[in-house]
Amino acid sequence: MAVFTPVSDNDAHELLTRYTLGELVSLRGITAGIENTNYFLTTTQGEYVLTLFEVLTSEQLPFYIELMHHLAQQHIPVPQPQTLRDGTRLTQMHGKPCAIVTRLSGGYEPDPSAAHCALAGKTLAQAHLAGKSFHIKQPNLRGLSWWQQTIPKVLPFLSSEQSALIQQVLAEQTAFAANDTYKALPSGPSHCDLFRDNVLFDGTFEMPRMGGFIDFYFAGCDAWLFDVAVSVNDWCIERHTGVFDNNKLQSWLAAYAAVRPFTTHEKLAWPILLQAAALRFWVSRLYDFYLPRPAQTLKPHDPRHFERILHERRSSTVLALP
């Protein structure tokens, strides 16, 4: 973990007195994750995940917690935040906000097939439609304004060619955000970080079943097409080059469109939003690589991965939306 707050069995016993989730059976730390401290929490009533939030504050968290609760109520497979005896879904431990959510079944698939892609695309479309009735509004905090603030901070670390590219793409994205096509894109609550390690599958590789979407802590209201672009830029590529695997991409997009058909404006915006999704993660990985937070102990991701993807999206013709 990037930061780690020890939680003892006694801490967990005390925490559970605030809920009606039964008695503690076991508590085990989870090593994955770069933003939060996570534990698998087993009680006499079920399997849960305990999360202590190391970066997000109690003021910022209701959007994420209540969005997960809303989606779970709409039968979307996501971790369901558990309600405390006082009717809230957030509490405190060791001076940090924390929550208990249901533990989903399954595991993530590092090398997804077209069938996995189709399941993920279908479920994302269902989540977008279910989110339409969610009442809390919060922008994607890693969207255009964050890119505009962050890119100047990483420019000193870039070559002249990288600097020219990143500033040119930022200018193009800034101009497009003021465009009528962009303004007409359907939008709403979006995951904004739906990489393959944030989706769990049950079943077998040949016959996968959806386990659910996890890690909503980069979610925000954005164009739904941006959420799709973020996802396919990870799910549907040849890992070492960033080139699309068109069979996987077609499976993802067709399954999504069967639930929520793409609009004419989305079809026009598709190529530039694929670049936007690549830029977002190039910028964040550059920032984490060159300007890491003091508490960050995990090795940051290689920024060159999304630089390659951005080059690829700018130089190659992309499969059109169905």
What is the full DSSP assignment across 5-47? ----HHHHHHHHTTSSS--EEEEEEE---SSEEEEEEEETTEE
**What local confidence, expressed as pLDDT, does residue 190 receive?**
98
Same domain, 17 and 50: yes
**What local confidence, expressed as pLDDT, does residue 87 receive?**
97
Task: Name the domain count of the chain.
Answer: 2
pLDDT of 3 over the 50 cut? no
Run of H or E including 290: helix 264-290
Q: What is the DSSP letter of 61?
A: T
For residue 118, give the CATH number of its domain.
3.90.1200.10
When pLDDT is averaged across residues 226-255 and rounded to a whole number, the result is 97
Same domain, 307 and 221: yes
Q: What is the pTM of this model?
A: 0.94
Residue 28 to residues 6, 37, 46, 216: CA-CA distances in angstroms?
11, 11, 14, 21
> Is residue 34 very low, low, confident or very high in pLDDT (cuts 50, 70, 90)?
low
> Is residue 19 very low, low, confident or very high in pLDDT (cuts 50, 70, 90)?
very high
Which among 52, 70, 102 is the end of a domain? 102
For residue 83, give the CATH number of its domain.
3.30.200.20
Same domain, 152 and 223: yes
Same domain, 90 and 175: no
Which among 74, 102, 130 is the end of a domain? 102
When pLDDT is averaged across residues 315-320 and rounded to a whole number, the result is 94
Same domain, 98 and 121: no
pLDDT in tens, 62-91: 999 999 999 999 999 999 999 999 999 999
Report if residue 4 sits inside a domain: no
pLDDT of 289 over the 80 cut? yes
What's the rounded Cα separation, in Å, for the pair 264 and 262?
7
Chain-wide mean pLDDT for the chain?
A: 95
**What local confidence, expressed as pLDDT, does residue 4 receive?**
77
Same domain, 219 and 281: yes
**What local confidence, expressed as pLDDT, does residue 2 receive?**
40
Report if residue 166 sits inside a domain: yes
pLDDT of 272 over the 80 cut? yes
Same domain, 43 and 159: no
What's the rounded Cα separation, in Å, for the pair 210 and 158?
40
For residue 285, the SS3 value is helix
Same domain, 84 and 118: no
| Count of CB atoms situated within 10 Å of the CB of 197 | 16
pLDDT of 95 over the 80 cut? yes
What's the rounded Cα separation, in Å, for the pair 12 and 26?
9
Report if residue 183 sits inside a domain: yes
What's the rounded Cα separation, in Å, for the pair 5 and 271?
42
Same domain, 170 and 288: yes
**What local confidence, expressed as pLDDT, does residue 320 receive?**
96
Which among 56, 71, 102 is the end of a domain? 102
Percent of the chain with pLDDT over 90: 92
Nearest partner of 96 among 19, 37, 32, judged by Cα: 37
Report if residue 320 sits inside a domain: no
**What local confidence, expressed as pLDDT, does residue 300 receive?**
79
Same domain, 61 and 81: yes
Report if residue 152 sits inside a domain: yes
Same domain, 140 and 51: no
**What local confidence, expressed as pLDDT, does residue 249 receive?**
98
Run of H or E including 96: strand 96-102
Report if residue 2 sits inside a domain: no
Contact status, residue 201 vs residue 119, Cβ threshold 8 Å: yes
Could you tell me the residue range of the domain that residue 308 belongs to? 114-315
pLDDT of 124 over the 90 cut? yes
Contact status, residue 33 vs residue 2, Cβ threshold 8 Å: yes
**What local confidence, expressed as pLDDT, does residue 1 receive?**
39
What's the rounded Cα separation, in Å, for the pair 123 and 156?
41
For residue 218, the SS3 value is coil
Report if residue 321 sits inside a domain: no
> Is residue 298 very low, low, confident or very high in pLDDT (cuts 50, 70, 90)?
low
Residue 267 to residues 169, 179, 181, 185, 259: CA-CA distances in angstroms?
20, 15, 10, 10, 16
Strand partners, 200: 212
What's the rounded Cα separation, in Å, for the pair 212 and 105?
8
Same domain, 275 and 203: yes
pLDDT in tens, 126-182: 999 999 999 999 999 999 999 999 999 999 999 999 999 999 999 999 999 999 999
